[in-house]
Each structure stands twice: as structure tokens, then as C-alpha cells.
Amino acid sequence: MFAYIVRRLFLMLVTLFGISVIIFVLLRVVPGNIVDILFDAAGFVDPADKANLERELGLSQPIVIQYLHWIGGLLHGDLGYSYVSEKPALEEILPRIPITARLAGLALLFSASIGIPLGVISAVHQGSKLDYALRVVSLSGLSLPSFWLGLLILMASVSLFSTMPIFNPNPKTWLEALTIYAVPAMAVGFRSAALTMRITRSSMLEILRQDYIRTARAKGASEASVNYRHALKNAVLPVITVIGIEAAFLIGGLIVTETVFNIPGIARFLVEALRWRDYPIVQNLVMFIAVVVVVVNFIVDMLYAAIDPRIRFGD
């Protein structure tokens, strides 16, 4: 087990290295850098000024040197300075992380706590009206883009309450904090909830046909015990996989949701930074997201072993 974890950690490092190269190269393949954008906006361009600024920002160096400079800094905890605000990138990124983390955590919590029970109910009542209704709802969840759902929610709240949820960086009470995050979290988590529900349903249907379910009934176990104690524990593995993948996909949904709801999290910040070709911000943010995804994947694999005794990571 120990050897497995060491190997996994090593593989995680390799993955992160690959991602760092890809994001670094991709950013520079995208046409234009911050200097181009600034000088385009100014209209008149003195090539000498432009070259000066590029040299100042280190953009005139060979790409390998630029990469080594970035990674070297990263390993020492130096993320560089934002081109736009000229503040340290760390100072720009850190305060935004909790906002997005709360939003993402709430969205995942929402998708698991709604998707799993509804999936079980749908499977247990397979073929009933309830099952059909739940499947239609989940299909709509998969089909509605989260930005559109977000806009619908905003429009609904304006027409119903003549106001819309406004982000407040310092909520006074827990309740206030929850209301601020709950609506956007549901907007972004609806898709995950729908997907979780469908996977739970199909996985449950498969498990409910197993012989050991009949054994449980033959023991005299109640339906609730059969469904949740015996079936769900077996059915939950593919669901965990999906939730793990969804955690990574969430960042895409968060970009639009944070924009729609005007929430100053890292997802929206990433898009803004990308528009300005603010390399230090984009590179470091993507690396941060990559670390989160890799760690979530690792946790999912560990959960497998915790839930299913047949899965043991040997050497």
C-alpha cells in the first residue's frame, strides 16, 4: 500500500509537469501578448517602447528560459507578478480561492445529496410515473447549459422578488453566506446532480438484480435496508468515479456561473486574466486547478479501496 502511494505521488508529479508544459506552450501559441494588447489599445505604436516593455516583462527571452524561470520561481513559492495589477500573483489568487472552493464544494454536495437519493428512488421504482418524471428532470439537467440556467434563475428572481442575488464578500451570518452561494451552486451543480442521478439509477438497477440482493430479502431485511445497506454500497463505486470527474468539469461550469452571478472567484478571474494574456496569473491558476484535479482523482481511488474490499492496491 505504501509503495503504491509513493508510486501514485510520483505519477502525480509527472502529470503536473506535463500540464505545466502544455499550458505554457498553449498560452504562447495563442496570438498576441499583453504588450500587443496594450499597444493596440493605444493606437500609436513606437516599436522601441514595445520592445522595451517586452524585455521588461521577460517576454523577449527564449521560451525555454521563460519556462525555466517560471517553474524555478514556482518551486520556490514565487509566482511572479500580475502584468495587469502589478501585484504578486499569489496575492491576487489566494483571496479568490475560498470563494470558488465554497461554490464548488456546495455544488458537489448538492449534486451528491440530490443525485444519489433520487437515483436510488428512480431505480427502485423503475418503470413508474415517478421514475419517468425523474428521468425527464435529469435529462433536462444534462441538456441545460449552466449559464442559461443561471440566467433563467436571475430572470426569475428579478420578476418574482424584484431583486437578484448580489454577491457580498463578507456575509454577516451563516444563513446569508448560504443564500449567497446556494443559488449559483445549484445552477452549476444541476448538471452534476442529473448525471449523478442517472449513473446511480443504472448502477442500482444492475446491482438490484444480483443474487445477494435476493439473499438479503430471504433474510427478512426491509426494503430500505435492501436498497441502501445492501445495494447502494455496491452501486456507489461508478457514482464516485463520476463525481470525481465532475469535480474537474465543474471549473468549466464555474467560469460562466461566476460571470453570470458576478462572483469574484478564480474561475471568472482566469478568463479575465486570459483576455489580458496575463501569463503569470493564467499559468499559476491552471497549475492550481490541475493540482486540485489530480488530488481529487487520488482521493477517488483511495475511496474505492475503502468501499470495496476486493480492491486492494498491491505492489
Q: Least distance in Å: CB of 138 to another protein?
A: 24
Instruction: Give whichever of 230 and 277 is closer to another protein, judged by the CB atom.
Output: 230
Would you call 130 exposed, middle or buried from its count of C-beta atoms within 10 A (0-12, 13-18, 19+)?
A: middle
∠ at Cα 279 (82, 103), nearest 5°?
Answer: 75
**Residues paired with 81 in a beta bridge:** 88
Q: Measure the CA–CA gap between 115 and 189, rounded to whole angstroms.
A: 10
How far, in Å, are 34, 163, 281 from residue 277 at the CA level? 5, 35, 9
Q: Are the beta carbons of 219 and 226 closer than 8 angstroms?
A: no
307 touching another protein, by CB under 8 A: yes
Q: Which is nearer to another protein, 108 or 123 (CB)?
A: 123
Between 91 and 308, CB nearer to another protein: 308
Name residues contacting another protein, limited to 204-223 (CB under 8 A). 210-212, 214-222
In the complex, minimum distance from the CB of residue 242 to another protein, in angstroms, rounded to a whole number: 19
From residue 254 to residue 293, what is the string marking binding to another protein with x (rule CB under 8 A)? ----------------------------------------
- Between residues 221 and 302, which has the closer beta carbon with respect to another protein? 221
Contact by Cβ (8 Å): 186, 195: no
Q: Does 128 bind another protein (CB under 8 A)?
A: no
Helix, strand, or coil here: 312?
coil
For another protein, the binding residue among 64, 224, 310, 315 (CB under 8 A) is 310
The site for another protein, by CB under 8 A, has a size of 19
Sorted by sequence, the CB contacts under 8 Å of residue 84 that are 6+ apart come out as 34, 273, 276, 278, 281
Instruction: Give the amino acid at 37.
Output: I
**Smallest gap, in angstroms, from Cβ of residue 111 to another protein?**
23
Output the smallest distance, CB 246 to another protein, in A: 23
Cβ proximity to another protein, 203 vs 257, nearer residue: 203
Instruction: Select from 32, 47, 169, 309 the one that contacts another protein (CB under 8 A).
Output: 309
The one segment of 45-53, 78-86, 128-136, 226-234 that binds another protein by CB under 8 A = 226-234
Conformational region of residue 26, where left means phi above 0, alpha means psi within -120 to 50, and beta covers everything else: alpha
Q: CB of 310: closest distance to another protein in angstroms? A: 5
Smallest gap from Cβ 308 to another protein, in A, equals: 6
Residue 151: Cβ within 10 Å count: 15
Q: Determine how many CB atoms are found less than 10 A away from the CB of residue 245.
A: 16
In the complex, the residues that contact another protein under the rule CB under 8 A are: 210-212, 214-222, 230, 233-234, 307-310
